[in-house]
Amino acid sequence: MVQTPPPPRTAEDAAWILRLATPISTTAHGPLAGLHFAVKDNIDVAGLPTTAACPGFGYRADEHAMVVQRLLDAGASVAGKTNMDQFACGLNGTRSPYGPVPNAFDARYVCGGSSSGSAWTVARGQVDFALGTDTAGSGRVPAGLNNIVGLKPSKGLVSARGVLPAAQSVDCVSIFAPTVALAARVRHAAMGHDCADPYSRRLRLERSPYPQRFRFGVPDELVFFGDELARAAFADAVARLRELGGTPVTIDYRPLREAASLLYDSALVAERYAAVRAFFDGHADEVVEPVRGILASGSGYAAWELCEAQTRLRALAQRADAMWEHIDLLVVPTAPTHYTIAQMHADPVALNRNLGAYTNFVNLLDYAALSVPSTLRADGLPFGITLIGRSGSDLQLAELGQRYHHATGLPQGATDLPLPAPAAIPGLAVPATVKLAVVGAHLSGMALNPQLTERGARLLARTETAPDYRLFALPGTTPPKPGLLRIDPGMGHRIAVEVWEMPMEQYGSFVALVPPPLAIATLRLADGSAVQGFVCEAFSILDARDISHFGGWRAYLALQRSDAVPAF
């Protein structure tokens, strides 16, 4: 019997099963050149062991998994193998003889699994991206709990050849990254039909973004298991999606919830047993609990019971399909709450099930999904949401997910690094647009904002100008408006702005609405980029109040309403 490895001394020990001193690479050229990635330990890397967090099962891989080979060919380098819930059976990251992987923000809490080690390495900035797998949410829950992006492609889009199955018919290779744009680049390099993978397929991806005014489904049953911080965070997420042009639509969650229950509470669990049957039947004592019990339960079903479960799943899929007549995508919390490692050890089955409240149905019903960071809660723990679309909606989810992520203003993972500027989503056909910075009455929620939204404009980001401007409250304007005046470089203030993206075909009609003394000119933002934006003519500030020190129009109005500033 193989001895259990010693417990890890640090979080890094727990996350990495094998970290290479010299990364594996095949070329220095390609779209991913210079990037390093970690690989979950159920995915083969030639010359390295694959243990699936079960040392007795381990073998040395003779060749790379197809996804690893494609990423190497694209110029990326393998940095090592990462810890996981054993045999990819779990959503919490504590079911491993190599030790539990802690949350990247607070080591008392679970990281989420089964792709826990891969998520931790990305959240801590140790690699540029990482590969995980996702059968029931393992590529999403760790992302949501660690403030990173978790991209779960449509089934069959990325080859799973060379990946130890968990439940082969629903398995996906997943991608963790600090930004949506990078995750999308990796997916683009990794995807492609593979005739040697029985579940690979040729998918036609939808190349157009979601409509300017989109509809997003919200479950009529929302559970957070007593976590009011998570409940409030999801309400904030719905509000942010409204600002981006979305309209929430309540959907019947019952068929999704019932489909999710089939994964472990029906004969469908037999597929998990089938994946490791040859090893498990002779070595069950080398498998940790509760993984051992879950796999063993799959061995007792009859063929007729599996057929019955598959038919039940198809019936639920038909019921769930009705929601797509009313929505463009579905939005759910990635995970409903956080649990400590101690709590998870005390009640490993029920709490693990809770973490999958919004994930288990996705692959069973053949959907694509993207988990994006949403907020850092008052207790310092991350909260994420998942955008879910029909199979083939991967590019649409990435486009909306990137806009949402950048609207949060969050850092990258558990680092202090700010998000970089949004980047193009490979493969997405984007119509001609213009970026416009607004500073006053056109801000979200203000009187003239409908002039943007009715033209299909999308909120891209909240940011600041370069320190080259002064802001004035212009007298006699209805509704009240500020004027932004450019002065000598570095001699002014950083002024809060919102950057919107408008279809070019609508831009002319918008500019025609701009009254003097306001005008549209080129503005320089804090990151050095340039966009179109509102300015004012110099003569208009002669009788105007300089409000630059407030940092923005919204802050000035808030203090004015509180009587801290006399009305103009």
Beta strand segments in 103-201, E? 129-134, 149-152, 172-177
Q: Is the peptide bond before 7 cis (omega within 30 degrees of 0)?
A: no
- Round to the nearest angstrom and report the end-to-end CA distance of the chain: 81
SS3 280: helix
> What's the token pair of residue 1?
């019997």
Task: Please spell the DSSP secondary structure of 381-426, one letter per residue.
Answer: -EEEEEEEEETT-HHHHHHHHHHHHHHHT-BSTTSSPBP------T
What's the per-residue H, E or C state across 458-517?
EEEEEEEECCCEEEEEECCCCCCEEEEEECCCCCCECCEEEEEEEEHHHHHHHHCCCCCC
Catalytically active residues, by annotation: 40, 114, 138
- Answer for the pair 387, 215: CB distance below 8 angstroms, yes or no: no
Tell me if the bond preceding 479 is cis, omega within 30° of 0: yes
Q: Which helix (H) or strand (E) holds 524?
A: strand 518-524
Which value, in Å, is the radius of gyration of the alpha carbons in the chain?
A: 25
Helices 394-408 and 228-243, packing angle to 10 deg: 110
Q: Which residues partner with 386 through β-bridges?
A: 332, 371
- H/E element holding 521? strand 518-524
d(CA 442, CA 429): 28
